[in-house]
Amino acid sequence: MINWGSIVVELTEQERIRYDRQMLLRGWGEEAQRKVKAARVAIAGVGGLGSPVALYLAAAGVGFMRVIDHDIVNLSNLNRQIAHWGTDLGRPKVESAAMKLTQLNPEVKVDAVNEAITLDAAKDLFKDVHIVLDCLDSLGARMIVNGECVRRGMPFIYTAVYGMEGYMTSIVPGKGPCLRCIYPHDSPASSKFPVLGATAGVMGCLEATEALKYLTGIGSLAIGRLVIYDGERMQFESVALKRSPTCSVCRFA
């Protein structure tokens, strides 16, 4: 949980109206909303998962969002990457996303970073945020996020989709397994895989929910637990995950 100390941000009258419905949530109120306003998040990847994650976090009033991606919008993205529209073809994804996010909520500050996630970039991009949302599309890039987050003791939410299936777990270094404990072996990413847009929507919403819970301290996170969504059966399940005592990344965390 974040130690917010004395939060200096205040809500404006407009913000009180905008966030009225979520401030009615049990335990939320003005205090949690001020935390959300003071929060800084990094969203790694604004594709299928990153689109709903970014849109819902912006709608919820997260004060600072760094969106990171190095791709441009392609026609084959549009079945699922709902932050990008037909009018954005050929534009950098971060530019397209930033426009939607600031139109949805002008109170939110968006830092659009048109870069790939590399070891060096991650060090810089994650240094001033509270949490990272892993919305990437390869295990290799996700492991870079994992390594940097474990090094910083910073939580991140892993979410992945395939077809009508989705997988999500919250990784809080020192409190549960890291991504390397879960996937000890590298495996090459398949460049093209089946996915229904609504699946990315379901999982992105779970990811955004976990992030807001972490930022506000409300509820309990899916730490040490892989949440599996099976859309074909319309079923959610949860599987226990353990830290690996020999993990090459987090055994000393």
Partner 1 sequence: MPENMRLKVEVRLFADLREVAGAGSVLLDFGRPPTVGDVIDATIAKFPALAQSLKPNGKFNHKYKVLVGQSVVPPEGFAQNAGPRVALLPPVSGG
Instruction: Give me the residues that bind partner 1 (CB under 8 A), please.
Output: 45, 47-50, 134-139, 142, 159-163, 165, 167, 183-185, 187, 189-190, 193-195, 200, 228, 230, 232-233, 237-242
Min. distance of Cβ 82 from partner 1 in angstroms? 13
Q: Cβ closer to partner 1: 11 or 178?
A: 178
Min. distance of Cβ 205 from partner 1 in angstroms? 14
Rounded distance between C-alpha atoms, residue 190 and residue 186, angstroms:
13
CB atoms within 10 A of CB 141: 18
- State the pairing for strand pair 165-171/156-162: antiparallel
Min. distance of Cβ 193 from partner 1 in angstroms? 5
Closest CA to 215 of 166, 174, 157: 157
Q: Cβ closer to partner 1: 33 or 199?
A: 199
Min. distance of Cβ 120 from partner 1 in angstroms? 21
**Residues 84, 86, 92, 94: what is their CA dihedral angle, to the nearest 10 degrees?**
-20
- β-partners of residue 66 are 42, 111
Q: Cβ closer to partner 1: 27 or 163?
A: 163
- State the pairing for strand pair 156-162/40-44: unpaired
Q: Cβ closer to partner 1: 4 or 183?
A: 183
Min. distance of Cβ 203 from partner 1 in angstroms? 9
- State the pairing for strand pair 131-134/64-68: unpaired
Q: Cβ closer to partner 1: 153 or 163?
A: 163
